[in-house]
Structure 1
Amino acid sequence: MSDAPLPTGPLRGDLTEGPLTRTLIVFAVPQMIGNVMQSLNGSINAVWVGRLLGNGALAATANANIIMFLLFALVFGFGMAATVKVGQAWGRKDVVAARRSLGTAIGLTFMLALATSLGGWIFAPQMLHWLATPGESYGEALVYLRVVFIANPAATVTTMLAMGMRGSGDAGTPLRFMILTSVLDVILNPLFIMGWGPVPRMGIGGSAFATVIASFLGLFGMIAWIYAKDLPLRLRGKELAFLKPHRSELRYILGKGLPMGAQMLVISGAGVIMIGLVNREGLEMASAYGALLQVWNYIGMPAMAIGAAVSAMVAQHIGAGREDRVDAISRAGSTANLAITAVLLAAMLLFDRPLLALFLGDASPAVPLAQHIQSLAIWTYLPFGVTIVLFGTLRAYGVVYSQLLVLFTSMYLIRYGIYWLLYPSLGADALWYSLMVSSVMSMVLTLAAYFKGGWRRQMQRRIAAAAG
């Protein structure tokens, strides 16, 4: 399908050379910055919504966003599978195979995004009812959710492009356009919420509309950049046929992506249940939790970025036949994440009141409630980080069902078992203790899967064969 010769020297974005920790950190930092920018975008928009429209509107966006995450989870699973497939091809220096994998992933997920956008618009009321969205914020949540669904195809393709490029070791290009999208969204939010000049006042629908515009402009900008710079993963000429899902590629992306997406669904489903339980404690509790979710996003970002970097890095090492360095990559990722997360925890606890007041207002009674919740639940991010980093290694080996079992066991059986057990004596605090217990158990079960799984014995045999 392409006349391009296979490269014989090092590829740009080769993650198999150089000191492990330095290579991992340098590769993860742009992803981390991109994740922080994305969270900052959401947080600033939440400030606009909370300050300009009130706590009811803020609670509405929290309910709508958890649904968007739920629906986006499956697509994200396909993206993770594509990252691994592209990374393994990059490790083998097979650029054409990398393009084919990415093309299949984009073609598949774009069709899915169109279907979920249409279905989401139609069934948005039922989704909000399932969440037990408080009546005070239901109307605003419905408007916000329906408009945001329009941005879903652009956000899906952008994410798929970004994940494929990271598989090829390019974290810089996705970062550029994450920044562009975030800046546009932040600037346009107050403009469309309040109106100015010829722009009408749109309220909470304006916040969602700003996201739609920013998402499409970011996607078009990234595509233009890829072709202007002739980046290695661009499709041209006959290679455009790669956008029609290829059977062998589709088998891998569906076979691995579905359980990877199911992992995200398990996580987001647990979040949906948590939102529902929090909503039942009243609007003040829902507002406090909505603000905390904005703050906590920053603590989880290093783990997500380092876990994704570990997955791409391990995938390239598998393709290059250098599996003897895999355990060292996992250790480097876990250590780096623990150090960064500890610093963030200290900063969040030290400045919690002014941070929470940004979303809730200085005089809001939800501020001390949010401080109390944070003091109990914030520690979950230390074991969470180790779990996510090790998931990255397992994912690169195509090990997906053990993670699914770990997540289901810890986030449903253990978390909600602890909640129902403790609720009669602790009330709402049972929610936050259950988060900590489930996070620790998730890490313990993941360590068992990492050190005792069958994938590890196969890896060790290949290492021994290569050495002998």
Structure 2
Amino acid sequence: MAAETLPAARRGPRDLTSGPIAPALVAFALPTLGSNILQSMNASINTIWIGRFLGHGALAATANANLVLFIAFAVVFGFGLAATILIGQAVGARDLDRARRVLGTAIGGFAVASVAVSAAGWFASDAILRGLATPGDAMPLAHAYLRVIFLSLPASFLVLVLAMALRGAGDAVTPFAMMIVTVVLDAGLNPVLILGLGPAPRLGIAGSALATVVASYATLIGFVAIVYGRRLPIRLIGTELRYLVPDPAILRVVMAKGLPMGAQMFVVTASALALTGIVNRAGVDHAAAFGVAQQLWSYVQMPALAVGAAVSAMAAQNIGAGRWERVGAITRSGIVVNVAMTSVLIVALTAADRPALSLFLPGGGAATAIAAHANWIVGWSFVPFGVTMVLFATVRANGAVTAPLVILAIALIPVRLGVAFAGAPRFGIDAVWWALPIGSIVSVAMAAAYYRFGGWRRQRMMPPPAPAELAGEAVAAAPPTTRRPPVEPASVEG
């Protein structure tokens, strides 16, 4: 049999290769935006619990431990995004078996790797924290927190993979629903396990980590229950369970494409740490102002990240289907939607900057004035930042991952840091504030040039399956004669 006939209970995932683009993009982006907001809220709520119940030492401890987790998730995010794009292209090509192969490889590979990382982290947590020069007062707390939090990694990694895989298949609602479960459990259990409320033991900072462990595994169980209970099309059944043994060809692609995407997060972090060092030398008021402003800016960036995820999923499906005329339209719609959403947030934040800042800096004072001034300079720069994210999302959907990394590295390190360091002696701290929009302008200019003139359209995530393989395995959701490879026709305009 040359094609898989899907029963009604296992009908194909959401088709993003036809119909109006802008409404589909907004409908896809909003649940993703909700997930991002909930994730940030969960971190903020847990920080409040730890700070109020355990004090500043515990906050310092979790900050050091969370840096370790960030590094781990940066790598996983890159690999997960690579798998998501492969799944999206397979779904667009109506090749559901290939989508399941990618998902099986991702789950099997991450399961083994996450267990190994979790075990290594449990035994090496003390050495890791010492390598980070964790303050002595915070060391015991950080050690207790990090060891327990490492136990959550297998579930957390697999939840991330499942969420990204479903988005690649066109489903952004299920990951949003499961994020609600995570936040309710994690934020709700934190005070219970920290303080030992009711029958729960009083665990202190380890209780906060244990709350994350419980929430992570409960969310993973819920994810699996939904995938199989609703009989979602990418689930593995019967002989397909053998796909959990990683396919070497798919794994090589996920590794090769995922590393540059994960490296982008390291570039962003390195640039942010360097800017923080400049600001810290200006005094405690400037340091506090920068920290609070970054809290607010993190929310302004969320539409760009959500719209970028939507563009990536839609573009990947259309590239897989050979619908290149829609890829350009998706990119343009993504830019328009992102500019509109981000601009609304920027205007609202600028108009109400003092009340917003007072949530973190009660009583006003010098830090509030500094943060408000910084926001006036920096706030608008998230518009070009969002455009860059949309352009990157499109080119990555066809496997172009090195150029976005290079562009980001140039914009954030020699440009942004160069402006900040070179301008600080003459313009003071304003050099840091202006370095942020200048870096955004340079990055969007380079991203637009690469999108228009670069060779990203000629790349592929991985070679298409051989005809013999397709015929022998009878796995496609449509006859192979109707499948178009993800190659752009020469006549299509960029």
When normalised by structure 2's length, the TM-score is 0.84
The alpha carbon displacement at 1:350 in A equals 3.4
SS of 1:463's equivalent in the other structure is coil
Paired with 1:196 and 1:416, the residues of 2 have a C-alpha distance of: 48
In the alignment, is the contact (CA less than 8 A) between 1:66 and 1:271 conserved in 2? no
1:253: which partner in 2?
Answer: 254
* Deviation of 1:394 (Å): 0.4
Report the counterpart of residue 20 of structure 2 in structure 1.
19
The alignment covers a number of residue pairs equal to 467
Change (3 A) 1:321 1:159: same
Query: Quick one: distance in 1 between partners of 2:39 and 2:55?
Result: 22
> Are 2:322 and 2:487, in contact at CA under 8 Å, matched by a contact in 1?
no
Gaps of 5+ in 1: none
CA contact (8 A) 2:400 2:459 kept: no
Match of 2:466 in 1: none
Counterpart of 1:71, as a letter, is A
What is the rounded CA distance, in whole Å, between the counterparts of 2:119 and 2:23 in structure 1?
Answer: 44
1:435 lines up with 2:436 in the alignment: yes
Q: Deviation per CA, 1:273-328, whole angstroms, max 9, x where unpaired?
A: 44555556666655554444433222111111111111110111111111011111
Q: CA deviation at 1:462?
A: 3.4
Q: Tell me the distance in 2 between the aligned counterparts of 1:76 and 1:82.
A: 10
Aligned to 1:409: 410
Q: Match of 2:93?
A: 92
SS of equivalent to 1:462: coil
8 Å contact kept, 1:134–1:279: no
Aligned-partner Cα distance in 2 for 1:137–1:373: 31
Q: Is the 8 A contact 2:152 2:212 kept in 1?
A: yes
Distance 1:369 1:342 in 2: 22
Residue 251 of structure 1 and its aligned partner are, at CA, apart by 2.3
| Equivalent position of 1:209 in the other structure | 210
Structure 1 residue 466 displacement after superposition = 8.8
Q: Residue 50 of structure 1 contacts residue 360 of structure 1 at CA under 8 Å; is this kept in 2? A: no
Q: Is the 8 A contact 1:59 1:290 kept in 2?
A: no
Structure-1 residue corresponding to 2:325? 324
Report whether the alignment pairs 1:5 with 2:11: no
1:391, distance to aligned residue in structure 2 (A): 0.7
Give the 3-state SS of the residue equivalent to 1:83 in structure 2: helix
Q: Distance in 1 between matches of 2:389 and 2:167?
A: 17
Q: Which has the larger radius of gyration?
A: 2
Alpha-carbon shift at residue 353 of structure 1 (Å):
4.0
- Comparing 271-280 and 178-187, the one that deviates more: 271-280
Q: Is the 8 A contact 2:268 2:412 kept in 1?
A: yes
Residue pairs, 1:171-210, within 5 angstroms:
171-210=172-211
Native 8 Å contact 1:256 1:398 kept in 2: yes
Q: Deviations over 1:446-466 (max 9, x none)?
A: 111111101347899833569
Asked whether the equivalents of residues 13 and 91 of structure 2 are also in contact (C-alpha less than 8 Å), the reply is: no
Q: 1:219 to 1:93 in 2, by over 3 A?
A: same
Give the root-mean-square deviation of aligned CA atoms. 3.3
C-alpha displacement of 1:47 = 3.1
CA shift for structure 1 position 348? 2.5
The answer for the alignment partner of 1:73 in structure 2 is: 74
CA distances 1:95-141 after superposition (whole Å, capped 9, x unpaired): 11100011111222223323333444455566556666667766655
Q: Measure how far apart 1:384 and its partner are.
A: 1.1
Q: Which amino acid aligns with 1:13?
A: R
Q: Do the aligned partners of residues 166 and 186 (structure 1) sit closer, same or farther apart at CA in structure 2, a change above 3 Å counting?
A: same
8 A contact 1:47–1:359 mirrored in 2: no
Q: Quote the residue 2:118 is aligned against.
A: 117
Structure 2 equivalent of residue 236 of structure 1: 237
- Identity fraction in percent: 48
Structure 2 matches for 1:347-426, cutoff 5 A?
347-359=348-360, 361-362=362-363, 367-426=368-427
TM-score in terms of structure 1 length = 0.88
Is 96-105 or 359-368 further displaced after alignment? 359-368
User: Residues 357 and 29 (structure 1 numbering): CA distance in 2 closer, same or farther, change over 3 Å?
Assistant: same
Amino acid at match of 1:388: M
- Alpha-carbon distance in structure 1 between the residues aligned to 2:369 and 2:458: 51
Tell me, yes or no, if the aligned pair for 1:133 and 1:276 is still in contact at 8 Å.
Answer: no
Q: Which residue of 1 aligns with 2:488?
A: 462
Instruction: Report if the CA contact (8 A) 1:148-1:212 is conserved.
Output: yes
Answering whether residue 34 of structure 2 is matched by residue 33 of structure 1, we say yes
Residues 154 and 215 in structure 1, CA contact (< 8 A), matched pair in contact too: yes
The residue identity in structure 1 corresponding to 2:82 is A
- Structure 2 counterpart of 1:107, which letter? G
Structure 1 match to 2:479:
none
Q: Is the 8 A contact 2:399 2:459 kept in 1?
A: no
**1:359 CA displacement:** 4.3
Partners of 1:317 and 1:326 within 8 A in 2? yes
Q: Which moved more, 1:377-386 or 1:270-279?
A: 270-279
Aligned to 2:221: 220
Q: Which moved more, 1:199-208 or 1:159-168?
A: 199-208
Deviates more, 1:192-201 or 1:159-168: 192-201
Mapped to 2, the partners of 1:30 and 1:230 lie a distance apart of: 21
Once the 2 structures are TM-superposed, how far is the Cα of residue 193 of structure 1 from its aligned partner?
3.2
Task: Provide Cα deviations, 1:422-463, integer angstroms capped at 9, x if missing partner.
Answer: 222344444333222212211111111111101347899833
2:216 and 2:449 map into 1 onto residues whose CA distance is 40
Stretch of structure 1 that moved more, 325-334 or 181-190: 181-190
Task: Kindly indicate whether the alpha-carbon contact (under 8 Å) linking 1:399 and 1:455 is maintained by their aligned counterparts in 2.
Answer: yes
Q: What aligned pairs does 1:147-186 form with structure 2 within 5 A after superposition?
A: 147-186=148-187
State the partner residue of 2:473. Answer: none
> Relative to structure 1, is the Cα distance of residues 49 and 456 closer, same or farther in structure 2, using a 3 angstrom cutoff?
same
SS of residue in 1 equivalent to 2:234: coil
Once the two structures are superposed, what CA deviation does each residue of 1:359-418 show, in whole Å capped at 9, x if it has no partner? 455579755554444344333322111111111100111111111110111111112212
Letter in 1 for 2:297: W
Between 84-93 and 277-286, the greater mean CA deviation after superposition: 277-286
